[in-house]
A and B are shown apart, each in its own frame.
Chain A
Amino acid sequence: MTSYLIRRLGIGVITLLLITFLVYGLVRNIPGTPFTSDMAQMNPSKMMSPEAVEKLNRLYGLDKPWYQAYFYWMSNVVRGDFGVSYSRNNKPVGTLILERMPATLLLSSTSLVLAYLLSVPIGLWSSARADSVSERSVSTLLYMLYSLPAFVAALYLQLLFYVKLDWLPLYGMTSDDYATLSTSGKAWDLLKHATLPVICFTYGSLAFYSRFIRANMQEVLRQDYIRTARAKGVAPRTIIWKHAFRNTLIPFVTLVGLSLPGLFSGAVILEQIFSWPGMGRLYFESIGQRDYNVIMGLTLMFSMLTLAGQLLADILYAVVDPRVTYN
């Protein structure tokens, strides 16, 4: 197991180096630099003189070719320095990401917990009532939800709950008068703002997980030991819960690992629609502003999480299933 872990970690580091090298090359080759792109478009009179741009480029090491600059960036990262954000008053990238992280985590962790809590009962119910009319309609509905793009759902919900009913705010994380509200008022305000984004984050994975559980349950329910349990008179509820569901946990647990990166990424479009001040929006803004260090910091984080999630899934697999060993 230890040698397996070391090998996986070694491969992971190489993969990370390749990914960051590739993305660094890509973003450095986007036309425009952080000092020319945005301001010139907004106001030509604010455009910096070529000398000033030159000076800034030298200051930030952007005058070097990108493959050289990559190694500067990488060696700084190894020493724990992620650089500064050019377009946000030279704020360190680490601080910036940490500032934006809670907003994203609020959405993604809530939706993850909700999706797991709801999908288990739905999945079990639909495998217990397989092929009844109510089960078929619920399954069809879930399938349709699974195919409904999140940005379409977001717009439809905004139309319904903001334009038509006027119950929930359109976007943002807090109201303008948030600071003046009492503690309970603040919580209520936040809840109202977070409702639509959380729904949009949740329904897709809810549909996916419950279909996943149902498919695995159907597989398990066909096994001989289930027939044996039925034959000896075990209550249907106990069969579903104890005999069948426990054996579907193995593939289900690996899903937890694979959903880890989704906690942080996967939010670019939704955070944009809801003007949610999280990391997805930060990423989107940084591409527009050619803010290389922020893009690279976020890419590094997303890729590390993806790799860590895959590793975690494989390890969990060995933990829950004694038949699986890595040697």
Chain B
Amino acid sequence: MLTTPPEVEIALAESAPSAGFWRESWRRFCRRRLALVALAFVVALMAIAAAAPFIAGTKPIICKYKGHIYFPALGYYNRAWENPIFAKDRFRGRYAGTLAEKDPDSWAIFPLVYQDPYRRVRAGEWPDQPENPFGKEGVPSRYNWFGTNPQGFDVFASMVHGAQTAVSVGFVSMGIAAAIGITLGALAGYFGGWIDVLISRVIEVVMCIPSLVLILALVAMLDKVSNVHLMVIVGCTGWTGIARLTRAEFMKLKQLEFVSAARAMGAGASRVMFIHILRNALAPVLVPITFGIADAILIESGLSFLGFGASPPNPSWGTLLSAGRRSIEETWWLIVFPGAAIFLTVLAYNLIGEGLQEATDPRLRQDAH
């Protein structure tokens, strides 16, 4: 290693403004190669989830039909975004042949993989592509990369669209949990007294109810479960760890001088809590949130696996797994690929969480000097 003369080092330190907390943490985070790989994986997963209809689908990304440009693939995000003209002209979701048939001058750009998570692709829909096999014939092939499910739906397409479920459930439910947990924890830690006693008791009660008991009971109460329901339920049961940590951080920070200074300058309670203290308490709170995202994905896929997840037709990795379990002797591909996806995603979030912990917690710094 190169040694810099001491005077040069001092000069450098004086000239550059010292790195802020977040930049310093990011630098430390970057030193952990595994955490960086995990972060790249999660970013890639989010990109796949966001662009799912452009990766696998049977609706054109963009097409020209009767003199107008349309984007039928948007229909995968929301039914209403698919232009009604295609329903009026009786396309019935089959664009590949129908477009040319109804308008010879039309053109279209299709997704990378011509497969659909919601239906079986039939023979003759796409040039040189045979009908999707079903049942135990649906082994992975060059047309169905990850095989097909018992009804002949493509597993790769289901998994790409299922990434939307995994990513959104993880983020939204932890967003809800963080909002509840940070607010309650902040109130308990900042005010103390009977508010603290009350909130701590609530936290303890929610912690003591086995989470699966609570979640199964809540899901069973609903008639038709949607992903939004799942997010809310997972969020409303997963906030206790965040609340406890926020409470402890607030109790510690509220005694520091900068809080007294802010108060002396006339800042109100909510300003002190959410602008002054929370900024300083955010780093340790981010760690349980990251682990919580992994947990939320685990709970969602577990519920779908048990048949308590979102009602069909909803592509979820857990739903694929449960179909694989029903015919475990024949359809290994329904278990291996979705299982690996769940595992890798949970692993990635755990690695990021640990990287964050080491980067932001000064006690864990290995190179403390």
Contacts and interface: CB of A to CB of B under 8 A. Distances in A.
Answer yes or no: do A and B interact. Answer: yes
Interface of A: 11, 14-15, 18-19, 22-23, 26-27, 29-31, 143-144, 146-149, 151-152, 155-156, 158-159, 162-163, 170, 261, 265-266, 268-269, 272-273, 283-284, 287, 295, 298-299, 302-303, 306-307
Interface in B52-98: none
**Which 4 interchain pairs have the tightest Cβ spacing?**
A147-B347, A152-B339, A26-B217, A30-B220
A15 B213 contact: no
Contacts of A163: 328-329, 332
B210 A306 contact: yes
Contacts, number: 108
Given A27-B217, A151-B321, A159 B210 contact: no
Contact of B328 (A18, A30, A162, A306): A162
Contacts of A11: 201
Contacts of A22: 205, 209
Interface stretch (B128-136, B265-273, B294-302): B294-302
Contacts of B217: 23, 26-27, 30, 287, 295
Interface in B207-238: 207-210, 212-214, 216-218, 220-221, 223
B346 interface: yes
Contacts of A143: 347, 350-351
A31 B298 contact: no
Chain B interface size, as a band, is: 35 or more
Contact of B213 (A158, A272, A283): A283
A152 B209 contact: no
B306 interface: yes
Nearest to A17: B205
A26 B208 CA distance: 15
A159 B335 contact: yes
A148 B351 CA distance: 13
Nearest to B205: A18
B326 to A, nearest CB: 11
Contact of A147 (B207, B220, B306, B346): B346
Interface string B13-26: 00000000000000
B210 A303 contact: yes
Contacts of A15: 201, 204-205, 208
Given A26-B217, A147-B294, A147-B347, A299 B210 contact: yes
A168 B43 CA distance: 40
A272 B305 CA distance: 11
Nearest to B297: A149
A11 B197 CA distance: 11
Interface in B307-352: 321, 324-325, 328-329, 332, 335-336, 339, 342-343, 346-347, 350-351
**A interface SS class:** helix
Given A23-B214, A149-B346, A152-B342, 12 more contacts: A14-B201, A147-B294, A147-B347, A147-B350, A148-B346, A152-B343, A156-B335, A156-B336, A299-B209, A302-B210, A303-B208, A303-B209
A288 to B, nearest CB: 8
A299 B213 contact: yes
Contacts of B213: 23, 265, 283, 295, 298-299, 302
A86 B332 CA distance: 39
A23 B217 CA distance: 8
A273 B213 CA distance: 17
A269 B214 CA distance: 14
12 contacts: A23-B209, A23-B217, A30-B221, A31-B221, A152-B321, A152-B339, A159-B335, A163-B328, A265-B210, A265-B212, A269-B305, A299-B209
A149 B209 contact: no
A261 B298 CA distance: 20
Contacts of A27: 217
A144 to B, nearest CB: 6
Contact of B208 (A151, A266, A307): A307
A159 B328 contact: yes
B210 A272 contact: no
A266 B207 CA distance: 14
Contact of A149 (B204, B298, B325, B329): B298
A117 B336 CA distance: 31
A55 to B, nearest CB: 25
Given A23-B213, A269-B302, A287-B220, A149 B342 contact: yes
Nearest to A288: B220
A159 B305 contact: no
Interface string B178-218: 00000000000000000000000100110111101110111
A155 B328 contact: yes
Contact of A29 (B221, B302, B336, B347): B221
Contact of A306 (B208, B325, B350): B208
Contacts of B335: 155-156, 159
Contacts of A151: 302, 305, 321
Contacts of A155: 321, 324-325, 328, 335, 339
Contacts of A295: 213, 217
A285 to B, nearest CB: 11
B214 A268 contact: no
Contacts of B351: 143
